[in-house]
Structure 1
Amino acid sequence: MSLFDDLNRFLENRLEEFIRNNPHLELQALEEQLREQEKDTLRLTADLQLEEKRLQQQILNIAQDIQLWHERVEKAKSHGRDDLAKAAQEREASLLRQGNQIWGQMEGVKQRITKSKELLLQIQKRRQEVQTKAAEAKAARANYQAQSRWETSSWSQSSNPNLYSGSDPLEEKFKRWETDEELERMKRNLDR
């Protein structure tokens, strides 16, 4: 197992070194992580909102049941059925406790929705910052590459000035001198 651990550690170190040497890739990876977090947060918020709606519906159903049992309590009392009125009051009280419990759950869900929306805003802000840095890094990299090409072409031109310009004074002097020498040699050959 140690060999696999060492290999895994080696590969992780090489990956971290590669990312450090290529910061634009690190920004891309970070942006991708933030995009995934944003999707997860949106999904969580949607799930929580569905849960809130479900709890609201449960509370409405319980409220209707409470109203029904309250009416039964009143009816039983008005007809002198204290035994039924007492049982109906216990049922009504039980439904109230259940409704309060679900109300508390719903309030907790609402707080989680608020926090997930705040988290989403933070993630979106951070992602915007990363996108800006990535754009800056891309522009800097393009500028560096353009400057490197310019320096390379300038170096090439300065190391061989005749490469791009048609006139080189030294070259002209040598050609004139070589032509004069050739003329002198031809004159001497004619005079013989």
Structure 2
Amino acid sequence: MGIFEDLSQFLEARLEEFLRNNPHLELQALDEQLREQEDGTLRLILDLQRQEKQLQDDILALAQDIQLWHGRASKAEASSRMDLANAAREREAALLRQGNQHWGQMQGIKQRIEQSKDLVRQIQRRREEVRAELARVQAATASAKASLDSDTQGWNQAGTYQRSKSGADPLDAQFQRWEMDKEIEEMKRKMGS
């Protein structure tokens, strides 16, 4: 395992060094990471909202069942059927406990939804900061490149010399004649000896 850990540490160190030398890439990676966190948090909110809706539906169904068993208990008591009345009251109490549990769960989910919404707002603010910094770095990079381009502009332009559109360069033609004359003289010397 040691060689893989060493390789992993080496690669991580090189990546960190590369990102330090290219801050715009680091900012782009951070923006992407924040976007993924925002998407994940939004998915979580949707899931929590579905759970909240399900609990609300369950609570409404339990409320209807509680009304049913409350009415049955009252009817049984009115008919002096205490055995049925007691069983109905026990069922009503069990449904009330279940309703209270669902209510507590729903309140917990509502809190988590609010916390998640706060987190999304924080992530969005952070993304705005990262984007502003990225724009600043890119502008500074563009400015530095423009400055470098203007400094090296002389290398791209040779004084007053400009290549003509026809491609005919009088100095080049003069050198070609001179080089050809030298080659002819060399050939004559070789042939003459």
TM-score range, shorter chain: 0.7 to 0.9
**Residues 51-105 of structure 1 deviation map (CA, whole Å, 9 limit, x = unaligned):** 0000000000100000000000110011111111111111101100110011000
User: CA–CA distance in 2 between the matches of 1:156 and 1:109?
Assistant: 67
Q: Quick one: which amino acid aligns to residue 147 of structure 1?
A: S
Cross-structure match for 2:24: 24
Unaligned ranges ≥5, structure 2: 163-193
Cα shift at 1:2: 1.1
Q: Quick one: which amino acid aligns to residue 60 of structure 2?
A: L
User: CA–CA distance in 2 between the matches of 1:13 and 1:118?
Assistant: 34
1:113 matched to 2:117 = no
User: CA–CA distance in 2 between the matches of 1:119 and 1:23?
Assistant: 26
1:76 matched to 2:79 = no
User: CA–CA distance in 2 between the matches of 1:156 and 1:29?
Assistant: 36
Cross-structure match for 1:59: 59
**Root-mean-square deviation over aligned CA pairs:** 1.5
User: CA–CA distance in 2 between the matches of 1:144 and 1:163?
Assistant: 28
SS in 1 for 2:152: helix
Superposed, 1:68-147 pairs within 5 Å as 68-147=68-147
1:150 matched to 2:150 = yes
Q: Compare the two structures and name the one with the higher helix fraction.
A: 1
**Residues 119-147 of structure 1 deviation map (CA, whole Å, 9 limit, x = unaligned):** 00000111111111111111111111001
User: CA–CA distance in 2 between the matches of 1:163 and 1:147?
Assistant: 24
Q: Could you state the TM-score of these two structures normalised by the residue count of structure 2?
A: 0.80
Moved over 4 A (4+): 154-157, 160-164
Cross-structure match for 2:34: 34
User: What's the % identity of the aligned pairs?
Assistant: 60
Unaligned ranges ≥5, structure 1: 165-192
User: CA–CA distance in 1 between the matches of 2:99 and 2:159?
Assistant: 91
Cα shift at 1:161: 5.1
SS in 2 for 1:80: coil
Q: Could you state the TM-score of these two structures normalised by the residue count of structure 1?
A: 0.81
SS in 2 for 1:150: helix
Count of matched residue positions in the alignment of Structure 1 and Structure 2: 162
Cα shift at 1:152: 1.6
User: CA–CA distance in 1 between the matches of 2:109 and 2:126?
Assistant: 25
